[in-house]
């Protein structure tokens, strides 16, 4: 399926508004016949798509590939390479534990264990109810408050294992 009209129709089944929003963004790019040049817009298109859909399911990948004139394999290759992109649904609350060096020396590994135990999911997983995902990230640059945990956009600093239930109960 390399026809952008068909792939957009497929995408609209997921959500017509979101499909429209992504398509409008792709239309706004100065795309040409030159595949190599179009490829330069791939990463930013995927950022936009993930912002809209929260993750990158295959219908989204196919549509981006079609609009940019790239192969699906090339698009998937990029998604799987960069840690920022995910093709699996994420929870409504993304719990990101910083595992950068400063947080590591201040005990981030203990936090990882405690969150895993408390939520019953492993690092990199999403709970079955779709509420929480647990991920590690490398340095948000708030090293003075290490160890740091980010829940969506909210930053918690100097986190101890005792604060875990409190942080979870903030997610309502």
Partner 1 sequence: MIDSPAKLKSYTENLSKNSKPATTILVSLGTCGIAAGTRPINDLLKSEAASRKADIEIVEVGCMGLCHSEPSIEVVNNATGKSIIYGKVKVEQVPAIIETASKGIEAASCTVINRSWFYPEENETATSEKIQARIVLKNTGKINPEILDHYIANKGYQALSKVLFDMTPQQVLDTVIDSGLRGRGGGGFPTGKKWAFAAAQKADQKYVLCNADEGDPGAFMDRAVLEGDPHSVLEAMAITGYAIGSDTGVIYIRAEYPLAVKRLEIAIDQAKKQGLLGKNILGSKFSFDIMIKYGAGAFVCGEETALIHSVEGKRGEPTVKPPFPAIEGLWKKPTVVNNVETFANVCAIIRNGAAWFKKIGTAGSPGTKVFALAGKVKKVGLVEVPMGTTLRQIIFNVGGGIMNDRKFKAVQTGGPSGGCIKFDQLDTEIDYESLKRLGSMMGSGGMIVMDEDDCMVNVAKFFLEFTLDESCGKCTPCRIGNKRLYEMLHKICDGRGTRETIQNLKDLSNSIKDTALCGLGQTSPNPVLSTLAQFEHEYLAHIDEKRCEAGVCKKLLKYEINNSCVGCTLCARNCPANCIAGSVKQKHSIDQSRCIKCGVCMDVCKFHAVDRK
**d(C-alpha 101, C-alpha 109), whole Å:** 11
SS3 of 104, please?
A: helix
State the alpha helices, DSSP H only, in the chain. 4-14, 16-28, 35-39, 42-53, 58-68, 72-81, 101-105, 108-119, 164-169
Pick the piece of the chain touching partner 1 (CB under 8 A) from 9-17, 35-43, 53-61, 120-128.
Answer: 35-43
Q: Which of 41, 54, 94, 163 binds partner 1 (CB under 8 A)?
A: 41
148 Rama class: left (phi>0) / alpha (psi -120 to 50) / beta: beta
Q: Considering only residues 101, 122, 124, 152, which one is a binding residue for partner 1 as defined by CB under 8 A?
A: 101
Q: In what order do the strands lie in the sheet with 154-156?
A: 132-137, 93-98, 149-151, 154-156
d(CA 135, CA 50): 16
- Give the whole-angstrom CA distance, residue 125 versus residue 95: 10
Residue of 12, 72, 78, 163 that binds partner 1 (CB under 8 A): 78
Residues 155 and 142: beta-carbon distance below 8 Å: yes
Q: Applying CB under 8 A, does 52 fall inside the site for partner 1?
A: no
15 counts as binding partner 1 under rule CB under 8 A: no
How many amino acids of this chain bind partner 1 (CB under 8 A)? 42
Q: Smallest gap, in angstroms, from Cβ of residue 111 to partner 1?
A: 12
Binding of partner 1 by 102 (CB under 8 A): yes
Out of 4, 22, 85, 149, name the contact with partner 1 by CB under 8 A. Answer: 85
123 binds partner 1 (CB under 8 A): no
Of the pair 2, 83, the CB lying nearest partner 1 is at 83
By CB under 8 A, residue 166 contacts partner 1:
no
Instruction: In whole angstroms, give the CA distance from residue 70 to residue 62.
Output: 9
Residue 165 is a binding residue for partner 1 (CB under 8 A): no
Interface ranges with partner 1 (CB under 8 A): 36-44, 46-47, 77-78, 81-85, 99-102, 104-106, 110, 113, 117, 137-146, 148, 155, 157, 161
């Amino acid at each position: 399926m390399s026809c952008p009209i068909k792939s957009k129709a497929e995408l609209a089944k997921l959500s017509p508004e979101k499909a429209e929003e992504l398509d409008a963004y792709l239309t706004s790019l100065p795309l040409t016949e030159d595949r190599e040049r179009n490829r330069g817009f791939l990463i930013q298109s995927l950022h936009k798509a993930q912002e809209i859909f929260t993750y990158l399911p295959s219908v989204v990948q196919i549509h981006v590939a079609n609009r940019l004139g790239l192969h699906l394999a090339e698009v998937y290759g990029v998604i799987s390479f960069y840690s920022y992109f995910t093709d699996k649904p994420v929870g409504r609350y993304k719990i990101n534990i910083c595992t950068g060096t400063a947080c590591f020396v201040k005990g981030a590994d203990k936090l990882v264990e405690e969150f895993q135990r408390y939520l019953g999911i492993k690092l990199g997983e999403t709970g079955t109810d779709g509420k929480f995902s647990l991920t590690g990230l490398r340095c948000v640059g708030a090293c003075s408050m290490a160890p740091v945990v980010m829940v969506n956009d909210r930053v918690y600093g100097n986190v101890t294992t005792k604060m875990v239930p409190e942080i979870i109960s903030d997610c309502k």
